[in-house]
Structure formats: C-alpha cells, structure tokens
Amino acid sequence: MLIDVFTLFREEADSNGIVFYYSGVLSQNVIKAMGDSLKQKLQKQDEKGAKSRKVFSTFIEMIQNAMHYSPSSPDYVPSSPDNDISKEGSIIVGKDNDKYFIICANFIEKRFEQRIREKLDPILSMTAEEIKLAYRQQLKNDQHGDDSISKGAGLGFLTLARDSIEPIEYALRSAVGSEDELTCFYLKATI
C-alpha cells in the first residue's frame, strides 16, 4: 500500500542523511519558505553557523538560478500543454559524514546548453586560487546588462565554486519525452 511506500521513502531519506528535499513549482515565495525551513534545520545541526551560512547561500544561488533559467520567456511555446513545465525544479540537501551536498535539477531550453557549458567548463578546471581571481574579475566587470537571461549567473556559478570544498559538478541530460526542446540541468556542490 502507498503508506508503506511513503514510509520506506522517508526512512531511506533519513538514513541517507537527507536534510531537505523539494520538487515542484519554483517561485520567489516558495524559495523564501524553503530558505526559512532549511535555515531552521541547519541551525539545529551546526551550532557554529559558518557552514550553515555557506549551505544556505549555495541553496539560494542554485534555486534562484533554476528559477531564472527555467523556460518562462514569452517566446517559449511548449509543443503541447503537457510539456509546460515552466518554472519547476528539484533540490536536495544532505549530509554525508561531515560534508553537506546540495544538488539542484531543472529543465532548461535546449538552446541554452552551450551557454551553460561555456560558463561552467572553465570554472571546473580552475584551482581555488583561480576561482578567487575570476570571482574578483567578474565582480568588477560592469557588463551585467548585456545578458538578461543569465542575470549575473557568471558570478553565481563562481560563488558556488568558491564555497564548494570539492569541485562543483554538472550534467546535462535529455528530458525524456521532450528531447528536442528541453534538457535537464543538474548542478552539485559540497560544503
């Protein structure tokens, strides 16, 4: 019966150190509520707070990035009403020994794949020192008006990379059933 399945789901999540999981509509109101819930859970687990702040920051950067990148532009027309997954995403926060991991997944329009690769691939090959330098450079770079879709995602990805104690990871996978227009974008950081 379904209650048994749900019990198993919850117990598995608990035993795997899952602190927080969400999958659904992304709006700023939902993000605020999730942020509040996450903060309270983290406060109970990490009394010093320095780590909590980085987990919270990573969470907000990822989920807002998901909200901004999700198909929502006026020129995006889903091929059928069933494909209208605009502004949805999933995020998970968990603890593995002393490390927190945060993984976010959201659909993007296929045409943005290349842009994401171009932004993330260089960061993936940087040392911690190079990330700091690139962050400083991006901070000074005044050209944030030229790319209305990425909002400043350049600094967002560098913020994630700067705070992650292991190199950030990403994956782009075809969206089952909507391969021609949508891609699922996964991003992972470790705090």
Partner 1 sequence: MTDLYMAGSADTPEIDFKFSSNTLEMSGEAYPENGVEFFLPVLKQLQAYLKSLTGDSVEFNFKLTYFNSVSTKILYSLFELLNEYAKSNPDSVKLNWFHDEDDDTILSFGLDIQEDFPWIDFNAIAVA
The residues that touch partner 1, with contacts defined as CB under 8 A, are 28, 31-32, 35-36, 48-50, 53-54, 56-57, 60-61, 64, 67, 136, 139-140, 142, 144, 151-152, 155-156, 158-159, 163
- 100 or 178: CB nearest partner 1: 100
Q: How far apart are CA 118 and CA 91, in angstroms?
A: 23
Q: What is the closest distance, in whole angstroms, from the C-beta atom of residue 154 to partner 1 in the complex? A: 9
CB of 53 to partner 1, least distance (A): 6
Strands (E), 36-168: 88-96, 99-109
Distance (Å, whole) CA 22 – CA 41: 14
Round to whole Å and give the CA distance between 188 and 76: 27
Structure-token match 């150190």, residue found: 17
Nearest-approach distance from CB 138 to partner 1, in angstroms = 8
For residue 61, count CB atoms less than 10 angstroms from its CB and return exposed for 0-12, middle for 13-18, buried for 19 or more. Answer: buried
Q: Which of residues 87 and 188 has its CB atom nearest to partner 1 in the complex?
A: 87
Q: How far apart are CA 54 and CA 163, in angstroms?
A: 7
Is 14 or 36 the residue whose CB approaches partner 1 more closely?
Answer: 36
CA distance 90 to 18: 14
- Cβ proximity to partner 1: between 16 and 28 the closer is 28
Cβ closer to partner 1: 60 or 172?
A: 60
CA distance 48 to 112: 39
Q: How far is the CB of 174 from partner 1 (least distance, A)?
A: 29
Kindly state the smallest distance separating residue 128's Cβ from partner 1, in Å. 13
